[in-house]
Structure 1
Amino acid sequence: MTIEAWLAGRAERGALGPQAERVAHLLARAPQFASYSSAREIAERAGVNVSTVVRTAQQLGFDGWPQLREALRALYLASVSSGDLPPGPASADPAAQTLRQDARNITMLNTPENLAAIRATAQAIKAARRTLIISSGSGAGPAHILSYLGTIAGHDIQLALGSSTSQVVHVARLEPGDCLITINIWRLTRTLRGLTRLARERGAVVSVLTDLRSSPLAEDADHLIVTPIEGLHAGPSLTAVVAAVQAVLSELADDGALRAFGDIQQMWQDLDLMDDQP
């Protein structure tokens, strides 16, 4: 059982309010951090007050935060082998700890469900007349990678990262059989949620790459890729997100993509664009 599923099961005892949901989402996204942290540290990272952390623990069936943290840590330790665990938060080698955590995030990404969704997303791109990628915040980097390299591979992939109004214009042009890819990391904006639903209503095939299986975006997703994003500090790690994008790109790498890439390289050569060409 995943930590997210465990929390969801305990939350059935009583509906969590918006502030408590923020705490629960943090625990699911960063279980290692949460298993070491105080209630105050959890509150600061989730953007709530300490009393909300305590109330959330009680709503999940515990006497308080220490009891929830103990149960969370036991579940987290059971999910990984002791040899794979990085040291605690006081590590003197944050670079090495980061690399170990990112390696674990990529390992957790490699599930049958994610692989099926990655392959289906690539097939949707191949079959689509047009593919549109929308994102915001931290998701913009992986979105750029998928758009740029996917276009080089010969697919009509457009990127809409501007204002909400310009994103609406792009989504409004989608037709049945087109593909929308929504990349959302950490916080979900109303714009992304609304545009994802609009694309689904317009008949587009919708693929969502996000960090929580319980994301509201899942309601409108034909294909859902869930990526761990736990990092060492306040911000998320995007390594597994980029790995998921690279996996989609690998599924696009057929003979047609190789020919398209060769054509692009020849154009670069003809225009003398590269400083390293002979």
Structure 2
Amino acid sequence: MKCAIPVALRGVREMSGDPDGFEAWLRDRVPERGLRPKGAAVLEVLLTQPRRASYASAAEAAELAGVNVATVSRTAQALGFTGWVDLQQELRARYLSSLSAPEVAAAHRTEGELGAASLRRDLESMAVLSRRLDDGLVRTIAEAIAAARRTLIVANGSYVAVGSALGHNVGLAGYQASVVRDDADLANSVSRLEPGDVLVAISFWRLYQSTVTAAEEASSRGARVFVLTDAASPALVEAAEQVVLIPAEGVAFFPSLAPGMAVAQAIVAHLSTVDPERTRRSIEAAEAQWARFGLLHRRPRRG
């Protein structure tokens, strides 16, 4: 027989503080029927020891909760994840988003060379992304961009690099896209969005309010909103048609750019297949102008 979780652990929204915090997020995922007592013990570990849990193996989490590994896996599934690894990935992203930059650096204190550690972390994140990324979702975003009159890409901080790469390659594929970094420019650009246009919001670690506002306004204007992030804010989920969850944890102060860039590349790879002739003409036209402007040190041989 299943019993309700203790009052302190019930998934009641009124008990939550910050709606974007890991505690509110976890409480909101508890099923209406509650959890079994052992599942509640796992949840208590997640709520009270988020740092330890976010870096622990399933066996270590089981030991902290005083249960077996199977219970940890079942609890993760009851909370809506495929298993412990997926739950842990998002728990860690949400936990880190609650920390300041110095606190993140302290949480990431790593022995040995940080360069090698950074490469290892990227490889691990790419492996997780490869398992989790829904190819159908990537195709949906690409087809939406292809069908749109215009695409607006919103990115801030270091993730401007991901937005710029996405915008550059969308244009190269033959479609209209602009990347917005400045808040005043963002407000003006959103004011011109129409039904069927696309807004792609790229935000990791700590969320910019301007990104949330842009997503909400774009959605209210009938634009299709897609979000690339490591932990989906309730406000963004409400505004977005689809959210792509991407691991972005790095080492030291810095979130990783590699998985976000990989998803951007996956989107434009799909985009190039929507109308291959259009993309071919666009690339050939760009190639001609590269030659006209003398941009390349080595010119390709003529076919």
Q: What is the TM-score when the length of structure 1 is the normalising length?
A: 0.71
Take 2:149 and 2:252, find their aligned partners in 1: how far apart are those partners? 41
List alignment gaps of at least 5 residues for structure 2: 1-8, 27-40, 61-83, 87-107
Bigger shift: 202-211 or 183-192?
A: 183-192
Take 1:173 and 1:67, find their aligned partners in 2: how far apart are those partners? 42
Q: Give the counterpart of 2:206 among 154, 162, 187.
A: 187
Q: 1:41-98: per-residue Cα shift (whole Å, max 9, x none)? A: xxxxxxxxxxxxxxxxx9x635996697268613387639xxxxxxx95432433322
Paired residues in the alignment total 229
Which structure exhibits the higher relative contact order, with contacts defined as CA atoms closer than 8 Å and separated by 6 or more residues? 1
Take 1:67 and 1:195, find their aligned partners in 2: how far apart are those partners? 31
Q: How does 1:240-259 map to 2 (within 5 A)?
A: 240-254=259-273, 255=276, 256-259=278-281
Aligned CA distance change for structure 1 residues 274 and 89 (closer, same or farther; 3 Å): same
Residue 205 of structure 1 corresponds to 224
Aligned CA distance change for structure 1 residues 13 and 128 (closer, same or farther; 3 Å): closer
1:103 aligns with 2:109: no
- Asked if 2 retains the 8 angstrom alpha-carbon contact of 1:122 and 1:252, the reply is yes
Deviation at 1:112, TM superposition (A): 5.7
Deviation at 1:105, TM superposition (A): 0.9
Q: Please state whether the residue corresponding to 2:154 is helix, strand or coil.
A: strand
List alignment gaps of at least 5 residues for structure 1: 1-9, 28-57, 81-87
- Asked if 2 retains the 8 angstrom alpha-carbon contact of 1:133 and 1:182, the reply is yes
Paired AA for residue 239 in structure 2: D
- Asked if 2 retains the 8 angstrom alpha-carbon contact of 1:138 and 1:185, the reply is no
1:216 aligns with 2:235: yes
1:73 aligns with 2:56: yes
Q: Give the counterpart of 1:177 among 196, 199, 218.
A: 196
Aligned CA distance change for structure 1 residues 62 and 264 (closer, same or farther; 3 Å): closer
State the percentage of identical aligned residues: 28
Moved over 6 A (4+): none
Q: How does 1:1-278 map to 2 (within 5 A)?
A: 12=11, 15-18=15-18, 22=21, 61-62=44-45, 69=52, 73-75=56-58, 79=85, 90-111=110-131, 114-162=134-182, 164-254=183-273, 255=276, 256-277=278-299
Q: 1:105-139: per-residue Cα shift (whole Å, max 9, x none)? A: 11222346632221111010000011111121232
What's the Cα RMSD here? Answer: 3.2
Paired AA for residue 229 in structure 1: A
Q: What is the TM-score when the length of structure 2 is the normalising length?
A: 0.66
